[in-house]
Structure 1
Amino acid sequence: MNITTNGEAVSINPLTIQEYLVSLGIDPRRVAVELNLEILPKAQYETTQLKDGDALEIVHFVGGGAARA
């Protein structure tokens, strides 16, 4: 299936947000995720299944602001 992550088209197997972040080497506790223009609560990372066409923005928090993952 195809999704967009931080503006880049990506092909992946069906995964949850949590599984996807881990597959990217990202600690889910250290990022904020926007799914289809809505901030996703961290409590939903493990249960939210990505779907074809979804758009994600993954943001790391760094000293003095935030940066895209």
Structure 2
Amino acid sequence: MPLTLSVNGEPQLLEPSPDPACLSTVIPALGHNPALVVVELNGVIIPKSRWPTEPVAEGDTLEIVTIVGGGSYS
């Protein structure tokens, strides 16, 4: 069964939906490296420790911010 989400303001369809549909399975299914992102689910930042038990449902809104390493200042 497909799962339709809003991801960073854009509709996303996951087909098939990860099973179980929780943050720890949905984030990689969307092509993100879980070690490099911070996730807000329906307006709430979810700590990574809760990802395996945090359900993601049809119509949920995800904001995914990727952590980017930078250079040094001279």
TM-score higher than 0.5 here? Answer: yes
Q: CA RMSD for the aligned pairs?
A: 1.6
Matched, 1:7 2:13: no
Please, which runs of 5 or more residues in structure 1 have no aligned partner? 65-69
How many aligned residue pairs are there?
Answer: 64
TM-score normalised per structure 2: 0.73
Larger Rg: 2
Please, which runs of 5 or more residues in structure 2 have no aligned partner? none
The DSSP-based 3-state class of the residue aligned with 1:56 is strand
Matched, 1:21 2:23: no
Q: Distance in 1 between matches of 2:28 and 2:13?
A: 16
Moved over 6 A (4+): none
Q: Distance in 2 between matches of 1:27 and 1:55?
A: 18
